[in-house]
Amino acid sequence: MIDFTSINASIESYLQSVLPAQVATLVECALIAVCAIAAYLVFAIVMIYMERKVCAAFQCRIGPDRVGFLGLLQVFADVFKMLIKEIIDIKDSDRALYTLAPFLVVMSSLITFSCLPFDNGLQVLDFNIGVFFIMAASSFGVLGILLAGWSSNNKFSMIGAIRSGGQMISYELSMSLCILTLVVLSGTMRVSEIVEMQREGWFIVRGHIPAIIAFLIYLIAGNAETNRAPFDLPEAESELTAGFHTEYSGMGFGLFYVAEFMNLFIIAGIATTLFLGGWTPLYIPGLDGFNAAMEWIPGIVWFLGKVFFVIWLLMWVRWTFPRLRIDQVLVLEWKYLVPIGLLNLLIMTVCVVMGWTL
Amino acid sequence: MTMGFLDNTYIGNILTAVKSLLTGLGVTLREFFTRKVTERYPENRKTQHISERHRAMLRMPHDEEGNNKCIACGLCQQACPNGTISITTRTVTDEESGKSKKVLAEYHYDLGACMFCQLCVNACPKGAIEFTNEFENAVFDRKKLIMKLNR
């Protein structure tokens, strides 16, 4: 297993030796920002391509295969098309908020993205309240959506934004309850420690029944958080044209689109970190040879493999179920997911106190 | 689905919902792994299957000697709602009986105006015209779409 902390430390000591201390810190920040944004965009491209192919497979189609080998250049063609589109100024719109909104959404998902542990030490932000920070950072994306709907001067955008606000704030609750359940099991909020603890068994196995229930509720709530079907009423194209981003064109829309996909990646990444052991390899007690073989696969491969598996699960759900009505969305959350989540938290606490975990 | 004593209770609703959701997921999962129905068109020219009844172009079949069944009655021309078909005739005198008879001179068909309704084929008393499924008829000049069907 590669330990990225030593690589990071050697880069830092090199920079400190050639540059003054403050400049070195600045250069490090810039380097990290560039790497994070590059990774963010690369994953967005991979996921847009994956979404189109997986969606096609669920509908018994092949999907894009004309632009480039296997349609690999399709996403680049789409981005190019988006870049050459005219940016429209809406009459009587709130210009400042209208311009700001997509950046807020992207900022929220980029900050959350930097909390994900890709490999041992390959993590931008890691501190003692990491999980808490992730929850806080991921929840201010809804502000961008609300502002986008409000500032567009369009009733469809407004309805979409209000629906989105109601939905995202509601589902935040059961998502947090599920994360809390796992914090009870792990006893720490530091992301790197949570992953390290799963070296000898992933939490979904060690927490057995309450962890599995928490995982399922987390996936449902996560799907709702990303505004994807069956919870896509903020954009509900058949009712609201495109919901909160109706009035956006060109890269304004592009940013919303990328942020939506990256939120999906982040939801899957947090699920992987908390439930499926992050970058730690599969560990089965007793089978030493098997475990040693699993150790040979790099952590980042484990992490991305698990993340894309969870993304595939979410896409499977997306292309199976029809959209819920707004009252059904709220009933599902407040009458079912929250009570079950609370009960599940109690069960997990009892299990941990009585030592019934594996 | 009946669950006995759990019918319409909170727990019963959850179980019913989970069962129906899993059924839906099962259907799409099976679909995910089935063979895809998409036809890759220009590449699959050799193997593509066009339905027999697909109407793409009007044709007048000829036998080995180059004779067709058309009697130049003009019913197809009258039946056509778009004025796609125009027939010119000439009169020949039968040598045995001495009677004069109208025969087909030229049968013009405008593919660009045709809406493939098949009224002309239905109107024909002799079965002299039919639709074929040769569908690759795109050209750059509309004049090329006006065709002479008889030989």
In a domain, A100, yes or no: yes
Helices and strands, number each (H, E), in chain B: 3, 5
Tell me the shortest Cα–Cα distance from A319 to chain B, in angstroms: 8
In a domain, B117, yes or no: yes
Report how far residue B64's alpha carbon sits from residue A128's, in angstroms, rounded to the nearest whole number.
91
Please indicate, yes or no, whether residues A183 and A291 belong to a single structural domain of this protein. yes
Please indicate, yes or no, whether residues B29 and B83 belong to a single structural domain of this protein. no
| CB-based contacts of B47, cutoff 8 Å, min separation 6 | none
- Here the tokens at position B99 are 């009677």
In a domain, A20, yes or no: yes
Closest-CA residue of chain B to A60: B36
Residue tagged 């420690």 (tokens): A193
Tell me the shortest Cα–Cα distance from A60 to chain B, in angstroms: 5
Dihedral (CA of A345, A346, A347, A351) sign:
positive
pTM of structure = 0.81
Please indicate, yes or no, whether residues B136 and B80 belong to a single structural domain of this protein. yes
User: Pick from A58, A61, A336: which is nearest to B28 by CB?
Assistant: A58
In a domain, A15, yes or no: yes
Please indicate, yes or no, whether residues A296 and A324 belong to a single structural domain of this protein. yes
Query: Which has the closest alpha carbon to A58: B36, B28, B22?
Result: B28
Write the CATH number for B100: 3.30.70.3270
> Cα-atom radius of gyration of chain A, to the nearest Å?
21
Contacts 24+ apart (CB under 8 A), A66-75: A74/A49, A75/A45, A75/A48, A75/A49
User: Pick from A54, A60, A317: which is nearest to B34 by CB?
Assistant: A60
Report how far residue A44's alpha carbon sits from residue A63's, in angstroms, rounded to the nearest whole number.
18
- Here the tokens at position A90 are 């809406």
ipTM above threshold 0.90: no
pLDDT of amino acid A1? 57
In a domain, B86, yes or no: yes
Question: Pairing relation of β-strands B130-132 and B146-148?
Answer: unpaired
Please indicate, yes or no, whether residues A177 and A46 belong to a single structural domain of this protein. no
Q: Cis ω on the peptide bond leading into residue A230 (within 30° of 0)?
A: yes
Note down the domain range covering A255.
Answer: 85-354
- Asked whether residue B140 carries a pLDDT value surpassing 90, the answer given is yes
Please indicate, yes or no, whether residues B27 and B98 belong to a single structural domain of this protein. no
CA contacts within 13 A on the Cβ side of A253? 20
Alpha carbon B95 to its chain's center = 42
- Yes or no, beta carbons of B14 and A57 under 8 Å apart: no
Report how far residue A256's alpha carbon sits from residue A228's, in angstroms, rounded to the nearest whole number.
13
- Yes or no, beta carbons of B25 and A65 under 8 Å apart: no
Report how far residue A47's alpha carbon sits from residue A310's, in angstroms, rounded to the nearest whole number.
12
- What element of type H or E holds B58? strand B57-59
- Yes or no, beta carbons of A336 and B14 under 8 Å apart: yes
Please indicate, yes or no, whether residues A312 and A340 belong to a single structural domain of this protein. yes
Closest-CA residue of chain B to A317: B25
Please indicate, yes or no, whether residues A45 and A192 belong to a single structural domain of this protein. no
Dihedral (CA of A26, A30, A35, A36) sign:
positive
Note down the domain range covering B79.
Answer: 57-148
Name the E strands within A37-97.
none
Q: Which of B32, B35, B43, B44 to mutate to test the interface with A (most CBs of A within 10 A)?
A: B32
Instruction: State which amino acid sits at residue A139.
Output: S
Query: Which has the closest alpha carbon to A3: A111, A110, A122, A85?
Result: A122
Please indicate, yes or no, whether residues A188 and A293 belong to a single structural domain of this protein. yes
Please indicate, yes or no, whether residues A36 and A89 belong to a single structural domain of this protein. no
pLDDT of amino acid B149? 87
Total count of domains within chain B: 2
Chain A residue numbers touching B39 (CB-CB < 8 A): none
Please indicate, yes or no, whether residues A245 and A108 belong to a single structural domain of this protein. yes
Average the pLDDT over B20-26 and give the result: 91
User: Pick from A60, A321, A336: which is nearest to B36 by CB?
Assistant: A60
In a domain, B47, yes or no: no
Please indicate, yes or no, whether residues B8 and B74 belong to a single structural domain of this protein. no
Please check whether residue A348 is in contact with residue A178, taking contact to mean a CB–CB distance below 8 angstroms: no
Please indicate, yes or no, whether residues B125 and B68 belong to a single structural domain of this protein. yes
- Asked whether residue B2 carries a pLDDT value surpassing 60, the answer given is no
Residue positions counted in chain B: 151
In a domain, A320, yes or no: yes
Tell me the longest C-alpha to C-alpha distance in chain A.
68
pLDDT of amino acid A32? 85
Please indicate, yes or no, whether residues A124 and A271 belong to a single structural domain of this protein. yes
- Yes or no, beta carbons of B28 and A57 under 8 Å apart: no
Please indicate, yes or no, whether residues A53 and A92 belong to a single structural domain of this protein. no
In a domain, A259, yes or no: yes
In a domain, A169, yes or no: yes
- Yes or no, beta carbons of B31 and A59 under 8 Å apart: yes
- Here the tokens at position A178 are 């599920």
Query: Which has the closest alpha carbon to A48: A265, A333, A217, A302?
Result: A265
Please indicate, yes or no, whether residues B16 and B78 belong to a single structural domain of this protein. no
Query: Which has the closest alpha carbon to A3: A279, A291, A305?
Result: A279
- Yes or no, beta carbons of A58 and B14 under 8 Å apart: no
Tell me the shortest Cα–Cα distance from A309 to chain B, in angstroms: 14
pLDDT of amino acid A343? 92
Report how far residue B98's alpha carbon sits from residue A268's, in angstroms, rounded to the nearest whole number.
92
CB of B46 within 8 Å of a chain A CB? The answer is: no
Write out residues in chain A with pLDDT < 50, as ranges: none
pLDDT single digits (tens) A151-187: 888 888 888 888 888 888 888 889 989 998 988 888 8
In a domain, B38, yes or no: no
DSSP secondary structure, A262-282, as one string:
HHHHHHHHHHHHHTS-TTPPP
**Residue B22 pLDDT grade (very low, low, confident, very high; cuts 50, 70, 90):** very high
Helices and strands, number each (H, E), in chain A: 16, 0
- Yes or no, beta carbons of B40 and A62 under 8 Å apart: yes
Report how far residue A17's alpha carbon sits from residue A351's, in angstroms, rounded to the nearest whole number.
51
pLDDT single digits (tens) B57-88: 898 988 888 888 888 888 999 999 998 999 99
In a domain, B103, yes or no: yes
- Yes or no, beta carbons of A60 and B21 under 8 Å apart: no
**Residue B43 CB neighbours (<10 A):** 9
In a domain, B64, yes or no: yes
In a domain, B81, yes or no: yes
Please check whether residue A268 is in contact with residue A314, taking contact to mean a CB–CB distance below 8 angstroms: yes
Please indicate, yes or no, whether residues A225 and A106 belong to a single structural domain of this protein. yes
In a domain, A80, yes or no: no
- Yes or no, beta carbons of B32 and A65 under 8 Å apart: no
Please indicate, yes or no, whether residues A334 and A189 belong to a single structural domain of this protein. yes
pLDDT of amino acid A21? 79
Chain B residue numbers touching A59 (CB-CB < 8 A): 31
Tell me the shortest Cα–Cα distance from B131 to chain A, in angstroms: 31
CB pairs below 8 Å between A and B: how many? 34
Please indicate, yes or no, whether residues B79 and B143 belong to a single structural domain of this protein. yes
Binding-site residues on chain A for chain B (CB distance < 8 A): 54, 56-62, 65, 316-317, 319-321, 336
Total count of domains within chain A: 2
Residue B51 backbone dihedrals phi, psi, to 5 degrees:
-60, 145
Which letter does DSSP use for residue B131 in this model? E
In a domain, B63, yes or no: yes
**Residue A78 CB neighbours (<10 A):** 18
Please indicate, yes or no, whether residues B78 and B136 belong to a single structural domain of this protein. yes
For helices A338-354 and A208-225, angle between their N-to-C axes, nearest 10 degrees: 150
